[in-house]
Amino acid sequence: MPIRVMIVDDHAVVRSGLATFLMVHDDLELVADVGSGREALRVCQEREVDVVLMDLVMPEMDGASTTQAIKEAFPHIQVIALTSFREEDLVQGVLKAGAISYLLKNVSADKLAEAIRAAYLGRGTLAPEATEVLIHAATNPGRPDYDLTPREKDVLALMSQGLSNPQIAEKLVVSQSTVKFHVSSVLSKLGVNSRTEAVALAIQQKLVSG
């Protein structure tokens, strides 16, 4: 029996290219090529799928979320992340979601075929770039961002420049009460009692440039 493969990518040209590649391998069979995570889940429910080639950056439902949903509902299906991106959060996110492999789209046809066969047997394949990312993450733990929202980070940056609440309000074109709310939230999330402590911690943790 050939290995049954599904392609998940929101770009039709990419799906077409991958489909053409699969057709030249007798031991690989294209079950479906779909453009969204929701379609992928539907196909998994309706068809027999062994290996999924998963794009990561897609609208509505990204690759990591789709991978997690597939692995929860269909643990036997293996997912290979196939993407143009090598950012640390994407690599870690999709592997944590259950992907067995992480490859970049510039991978050769032979390497991709080998990775599909390996995934089917339960063996993972990592692009060298993904391996470097994982090693870097293990040896250089990321700094906490304290769950600050983008607007709170803006406010904190302006606080570090010594701006007062009225000045921050003018700079961000919001009311002073809104700024006061954001400042209070920043202090709470950072676990400090004053603006001075907040700025010092932010510079220490490189949340802002200092």
pLDDT tens-digit profile of 100-140? 999 999 999 999 999 999 999 999 999 998 998 888 777 76
Kindly tell me the sign of the dihedral angle through the C-alpha atoms of 105, 106, 109, 112.
Answer: negative
**Domain 3-139 in this protein, CATH class:** alpha beta
CATH code linked to domain 150-204: 1.10.10.10
CA distance 60 to 125: 27
pLDDT tens-digit profile of 20-67? 999 899 999 999 999 999 999 999 999 999 999 999 999 889 999 999
Tell me the pLDDT band of 141, cut-offs 50, 70 and 90: low
Q: Where are the domains of the chain?
A: 3-139, 150-204
This prediction's pTM? 0.68
Mean of the per-residue pLDDT values of the chain = 92
